[in-house]
Amino acid sequence: MRRPLRSIAIACTTMFAAACALGPNYQRPKESIPAAYRFDTAAGSSSFADQGWWHLYQDPTLQSLIREALDNNLDVRIAAARVDQARAVLGSTRLQQLPQVSVLASAQRARTSADQRVPGAPALSNVFSVEGSLSYELDFWGKYRRATEAARAQLLVSQYSKQDVTAGLVASVATAYFTLLTLDEQLAITTHTVGTRQKFVDLTHAQHDRGTVSGLDVATAEAQLAIAQATIPDLQRQIGISEDQLSVLLGRNPDNIVRTDNGQLKRSTESTVVPVPPAGLPSSLLERRPDLRQAEQNLVAANANVGVARANLFPSIALTAAGGGVSSAVSDLFSGPTRAWSVGASLLQPLLSSQVNLYQLELADAQKRQALLQYQQSIQTAFREVSDALIARQKYAEFQVAQQAQVDAQRKANTIALARYRVGYSSYFDVINADRDLFTAELSLSAAHLNTLLSLVQLYRAAGGGWQTEQPDKGATGALPAAN
């Protein structure tokens, strides 16, 4: 049995070495890539998205929440399961390139009818057999090699998809966390305003009792108090919804989110615009963003599938070999006279299904064109997202500075109006207007600060950051704290 197996192995090796893989070899498409991003005032080769999220977000509470989300979030775990599936498919596909070896052993005991029995033969007989077989379909046209190439690309697709899910999760947790802290801040502003307006209502009642103000002034003061009080339940509703959203991101059931003192929003009091961090070169975005690498690997797989479809148009060549022994006694099963072997070759050319294979080739070509267009579309979308995030970061920061100046001026005006009202130099409506404008300005400043923070989150995500695996040196500091 060894001689025919050795011969067929040599033949397989020789023909495999001479074989070719049909279909085009993959080459990355040449895209029109700008030299720099629009609105990038800190243009350079380095990008702040190269640093890990644990360097960018310096808040210990936020870091803890992100770590918990990465460990427990169901979307990340689903993506990890898809990676395992793709790895199993790749292993199964690669095995198609190898010879298929099998062993069959059987034992049979039979009684032969007297009418059919050879004279002198026993009525009962035993048949024992052991056979090993080897079959190999030559990958002469590269069908299985292209299939393996496609499966390997799909494995990379699943891995980059997991990285993209991770980056999206980091951005979602940061967004939900900053939103929750902003709602806490707005609730504190509203609660403080309620207390201030309650004192003003008490003051107005006292002046009304002395006959210095009218009942209209008292009713107006009470109405302004009610407006602030009505804002509290709505803010509490938004806080509860945000906590539920963040809980699900963390892999928990909806629950309270504990905030510590380290989790309070910090806002710079300087009237300067925070510099926009560098986004890096647009060409490096193709290697940094997982979704772009995922789109490219989809193109690689589609390109390889074209080769598979072309190979199916050609005949398949198979070699087979079998050897073993058949005997009526187990002791004689491996003796010389009972040995048997066979070798063979076959060529199969589809005829009736050839038209089907042609349509499959057309389908593969169309899928490749679709994958190419989707890759190009993904690149354009990525450049737009970075450009949008850059301008948003710049203008939201400028708006926050202007809003801070408005709040500072409004606080001064409110203090002056209240002092003048106490001594009778200012009308009641001056106090009401100043208090209302201050309350609105403070809420607007809180929202402006949130937009500035979220623009940093969006820029980091758009520039390709957030998917990196945390390194042991947690003490390293990044260029930007999270609450700038």
Domain architecture of the chain: domains with CATH? 1-22+99-138+315-348 (2.20.200.10), 31-97+143-314+354-462 (1.20.1600.10)
Reading the chain (484 residues) residue by residue, the pLDDT tens digits are 444 445 444 444 444 444 567 888 999 998 888 888 888 877 677 888 999 999 999 889 999 999 999 999 999 999 999 999 999 999 998 888 888 888 888 888 887 777 777 777 777 877 778 888 888 888 888 888 999 999 999 999 999 999 999 999 999 999 999 999 999 999 999 999 999 889 888 888 887 888 777 888 889 889 989 999 999 999 999 999 999 999 999 999 998 988 875 455 666 544 556 678 888 888 899 999 999 999 999 999 999 999 999 988 888 888 888 877 777 777 666 676 777 778 888 887 777 667 788 888 999 999 999 999 999 999 999 999 999 999 999 999 999 999 999 999 999 998 998 888 777 777 778 888 898 999 999 999 999 999 999 999 999 999 999 999 987 654 443 433 333 3
Residue whose token pair is 């989300």: 69
Q: 162: which residues sit within 8 A by CB, 6+ positions away?
A: 76, 79, 80, 82, 83
Residue whose token pair is 């998205």: 49
Residue 10 is predicted with a pLDDT of 47
| Distance from the Cα of residue 84 to its chain's centroid | 16
Distance of alpha carbon 440 from alpha carbon 230, whole angstroms:
14
Distance of alpha carbon 196 from alpha carbon 301, whole angstroms:
66
Distance of alpha carbon 291 from alpha carbon 160, whole angstroms:
7
3-state SS, residue 132: strand
Residue whose token pair is 């959203």: 245
Q: What is the pTM of this model?
A: 0.83
Residues in the chain: 484
Element containing residue 133 per DSSP (H, E) = strand 124-138
**Between the CA atoms of 266, 193, 271 and 403, what dihedral angle is there, to the nearest 10 degrees?**
110
Residue 464 is predicted with a pLDDT of 93
Residue 483 is predicted with a pLDDT of 38
Which tokens sit at 281?
A: 């070169």
- Give CB contacts under 8 A, 24+ apart, made by 336-339: 339/1
Helix pair angle (290-311, 354-422), 10° resolution: 170
Residue 261 is predicted with a pLDDT of 59
3-state SS, residue 214: coil
In order, the DSSP letters of 347-382 are EE--STTHHHHHHHHHHHHHHHHHHHHHHHHHHHHH
Which tokens sit at 128?
A: 């024992």
DSSP 25: P
Distance of alpha carbon 379 from alpha carbon 300, whole angstroms:
16
Alpha carbon distances (Å) from 340 to 130, 337, 344, 414, 424: 10, 8, 14, 106, 120
Element containing residue 414 per DSSP (H, E) = helix 354-422
Distance of alpha carbon 204 from alpha carbon 212, whole angstroms:
9
Which tokens sit at 409?
A: 């001026």
